[in-house]
Amino acid sequence: MRDLNGDAMGVPMQQNIPAGDFPILLVEDNPVSRRVLEKSLAKAGYDVTAVENGQEALGAFQSRFFPIVLSDWLMPEMDGLELCKAVRKMSLPGYIFFVLLTAKDSKNDIIQGLNAGADDYLTKPVLQAELMARIRTGVRILELEKSLKTAVEKIEVLSVTDPLTECYNRRYLNEQLPQEIKRARRYRRALSLILCDIDHFKKINDTYGHAAGDLALKAIVRRLTASIRKGIDWISRMGGEEFVLVLPETEFRFALKTAERLRQKIASKPVDLADTHLFVTLSFGVTGFNADTLKKDISPDKMISKADHYLYEAKKSGRNRVLGDVF
């Protein structure tokens, strides 16, 4: 779900980038020119798909993404300029390096092509060496864009991740719980929330040290994560030794059963610390709403507050237990 290996997020300098990683869409209405260009690119190791005009090119994007487009300017049905404008308006998974192939070589023509969204141009007849040089330039730009996108994604993941336990953090909870409530209400689905807290955690830190406490926190989160539905349920660290489990499309009665199952699983197996095996228990407060019990005043704060109330009651009545109530 998330890459937390601590890899450096700077943009690497790529060498010998595999040509096959960047498939090319060749758009050329002249069959002889299309065949010559296709063979040249394929010989250089590029994965090439060739079509006759702009309409066919747009159709090709319906089944595959092409990060590089080489398009003739003058074509029937849809010319290269119109194709470039249409491509720039599409919602695509990445940037497209667009090269116009044209006999037009005046400055006004070049400016017109660049203003339409083209990245580069080649005048016909196309020279093999120049074609390959322009394509390599495009590949370098695309690799840079890919690296920057990856770096941004890593930063975003880290910004919503608790660095110790690697579950989500409070920011993610604040952003996503309102969306879960909104989605459940819109589609009339159930939604449940479990708040849990490690019993006597201060004693663990005082007796075994904070490093041991950190090991316990990580071990508990691993067990909780392994016991919920992957890609559906999620866990956030509220702070300290307190965690929130959000269970979409889960009725309250099933959330109670889930919390009890988690309680038993945690309590039945000791946590491995550096020098000892320590049995740890959790207390749980559970709440939620079902499809037939939706209320207008349900909010993230009210859900958390209600779960927190029952967590407090569970602590007060002896710990290592599950209490809760539906909205």
Residues labelled catalytic: 241
CA 203, chain centre distance (Å): 38
Q: Which structure tokens are listed for 201?
A: 């955690």
Q: 49, 41, 48, 137: which is closest to 97 by C-alpha? A: 137
Q: 291, 284, 321: which is closest to 306 by C-alpha? A: 284
Hunting for tokens 């939604």 — which residue is that?
191
154 DSSP 8-state letter: H
The CA distance from 102 to 176, in Å, is: 50
State the angle between helix axes of 210-226 and 252-268 in degrees (0 to 180), rounded to the nearest 10.
130
Q: Which structure tokens are listed for 280?
A: 């740890």
* Amino acid letter, residue 20: G
Helix (H, G, I), strand (E, B) or coil at 263: helix
Strands 242-248, 191-198: pairing kind: antiparallel
| HSE-CB for 252 with a 13 A CA cutoff | 18
Q: Report CA torsion sign: 301, 307, 308, 313.
A: positive
- Kindly report the backbone phi and psi dihedral angles of residue 127, in degrees, each rounded to the nearest multiple of 5, phi listed first: -85, 135
The CA distance from 227 to 209, in Å, is: 28
